[in-house]
Structure 1
């Protein structure tokens, strides 16, 4: 796939772990001159997967594996990455990829090209066996779960109980899917925790992000998500907002709770930097990308405090976080704040888009 991207594998990947006294060092894994990357996932043996949402006319591939020779391999194959065909059997507009703790890859496809109306029969969650490189399960979402202007955003897999938890950032909600039955439910769609906050502004690298339809910041709703599987907490956060929330996953799995009863279980935790991606960390901590600070923050539930642990000007809208082997933390830069739709139709994006990795003390 060198025809559309130049992927750089950095020699710095072999660098040793930084000591606790040293500042984290951001090391380049890959760069893409024109392909806007959002998601990254890494298997236990170091296989790296990325996704490119269908957000512009330059889009040519949706999900790929980064190979060690500096090429991109359409994943799981070219048919799934085709522009035409039945939407339930191809990638329409993939937003995120994640590897679960059994080393299976999951792909979340909101099926809303250019973040506009969804393609019918397109929204889905697909599990891929990394040993056979074949899809082994597809959970499709109808309009009761993924309405016309919804945008399924990020996902966590609870292998202990057999559930998937997702954020939906278009209209605002959480989605919970039973992996055994394939049945899904849309939850907290009327709750403030899944909505954008009023009068919020988003400014990144000095650029104010404006939705041309409203003249205000884009109302991107429930977005970042993290799963503390040991303690049974699901953390989530609206992108257009500064508040972190959590809820026990046992409540999300309980179909007997009414919406009012479920809403009463939501905990409002802390004010944090505005994040796009989130990730579960050690000892119940939560990592958050800090889009306005070009950095990565960490929330400590024990103290209730959020600390900025990494800043680098190259983190131009840090998007997705993912764990890799040997303590590596991976992050993508999507430059969403520079997209033409937020600047009167003029693109402010400056290639390349990146995948980086670092080790935090």
Structure 2
């Protein structure tokens, strides 16, 4: 991830009209625009269930091509086979993470990238984000760096009724602050912080930026957490945390699978995406291991660098075993072949892996046989960031226009709020390992 401080108003969501899963949506014309949905309407009182939202139907397009399924040759506005719905529209600060929880709630994260977000972890209630678990929990104090949240990149729910917040401790991509870079587990029912695990130098480097996580409560005495380090200037890697002891080990640090691809390039609106400071020559943008997914049986971890077009995997048993050396572990890494450049990954309980397509405004799915297929494409899916599978059989994704930030455009912020939480029906559930 990369940003240049560019203050904007604090985040506020535009609520969408709730519609229950059992209600059949009325017909709608094929989507033909290039952004912006129908005007938002006030939501019904109370927290809308994950099965609610306004439907924006896309035309079904059946296409058979001898090209890779993530090709953008048909154009990034060509719809995919699964309709896309707008679940929430958010003004102000740009969100990154989304977490659908087993109890039917939705959480978002706002890392401190200069947008002036009033909190870094929030829940969508009545279609609007509210600080969660409280404003106080989001009010970081340098005198007590582990006591409150500073800059949360991602959050993921586990099978024990907890929400784990991944605090980078690195606002503005500075070096992680000791004590501020941490994992915090909150009880979803009470909002109480029930566990805090700060990261030490054995896990984080001065260049580290912890990005996303997956949780397996069935691996180890109390479970294991896998985290990607998506450093912009140093080596990537996988951080493996033993929940019982709180110890963390760094794996595959600087390995080719966690590193940006050499000479990688992707383009938006006909222009290569590069760091373009005002008055200075453009520079390559390189982001290490970012997206992460866990197989339904917990035996395989998947990951990808953001500036890469390949997917990798390794056995989780080897990743979490400190007795396995790096040479042995590296030999077990599998290159699973090409895919579109992705920010986030996700998984479902049917053994499938989902990947965003940054250039194509799309989501693709990898079936258990290893074959990729297009799931959905929508021009409103500008920069599909984080993906999360809900208990209602929908895949949720934040679309936040990250490529339009000022740092990529000589100081001009080209983002056009609202940012969106989109969703598409997948008829599968989340992977909740217990």
Q: TM-score range by the shorter chain?
A: over 0.9
| Residue 409 of structure 2 is aligned to residue 343 of structure 1 | yes
| Residue 287 of structure 2 is aligned to residue 287 of structure 1 | no
CA distance in 1, matches of 2:363, 2:202: 35
* Equivalent of 2:306 in 214, 235, 239: 239
Match of 1:99 in 2: 157
| Residue 114 of structure 2 is aligned to residue 53 of structure 1 | no
CA distance in 1, matches of 2:388, 2:159: 12
* Equivalent of 2:224 in 146, 163, 186: 163
Match of 1:135 in 2: 193
| Residue 398 of structure 2 is aligned to residue 332 of structure 1 | yes
More off after superposition, 204-213 vs 162-171: 204-213
Shift in Å, 1:247: 0.4
CA distance in 1, matches of 2:391, 2:301: 23
Shift in Å, 1:326: 1.9
CA distance in 1, matches of 2:264, 2:283: 8
Asked if 1 retains the 8 angstrom alpha-carbon contact of 2:12 and 2:129, the reply is no
* Equivalent of 1:144 in 202, 208, 213: 202
Match of 1:82 in 2: 139
Shift in Å, 1:57: 4.4
TM norm structure 1: 0.93
CA distance in 2, matches of 1:104, 1:218: 35
TM norm structure 2: 0.78
How many pairs are equivalent? 356
Q: 1:99 to 1:357 in 2, by over 3 A?
A: same
CA deviation map 1:289-322 (0-9, x unaligned): 11111010111241x3222211000001001111
* Equivalent of 2:252 in 180, 188, 191: 188
Match of 2:92 in 1: 34
| Residue 413 of structure 2 is aligned to residue 355 of structure 1 | no
Match of 1:25 in 2: 83
> How do 1:111-126 and structure 2 match up within 5 A?
111-126=169-184
Shift in Å, 1:4: 3.6
**Structure 1 unaligned spans of 5+:** none
Asked if 2 retains the 8 angstrom alpha-carbon contact of 1:176 and 1:184, the reply is yes
Larger radius of gyration: 2
Q: 1:205 to 1:90 in 2, by over 3 A?
A: farther
Q: C-alpha root-mean-square deviation of aligned residues, in Å?
A: 2.1
Q: 1:14 to 1:206 in 2, by over 3 A?
A: farther
Query: What secondary structure is seen at the aligned counterpart in 2 of 1:102?
Result: coil
Query: What secondary structure is seen at the aligned counterpart in 1 of 2:337?
Result: strand
> How do 1:153-232 and structure 2 match up within 5 A?
153-161=211-219, 162-170=223-231, 171=234, 172-212=236-276, 215-230=282-297, 232=299
CA distance in 1, matches of 2:94, 2:271: 18
Q: 1:282 to 1:325 in 2, by over 3 A?
A: closer
CA distance in 2, matches of 1:194, 1:347: 30
CA distance in 1, matches of 2:404, 2:107: 24
Q: 1:205 to 1:127 in 2, by over 3 A?
A: farther
Q: Stretches of 4+ moved more than 4 A in 1?
A: 15-18
CA distance in 1, matches of 2:122, 2:417: 19
CA deviation map 1:95-150 (0-9, x unaligned): 00111223311100111112222222211011111122111011110122111121
Q: 1:17 to 1:317 in 2, by over 3 A?
A: farther
Shift in Å, 1:360: 3.0
Asked if 1 retains the 8 angstrom alpha-carbon contact of 2:93 and 2:115, the reply is no
Asked if 1 retains the 8 angstrom alpha-carbon contact of 2:286 and 2:307, the reply is yes
CA distance in 2, matches of 1:352, 1:208: 24
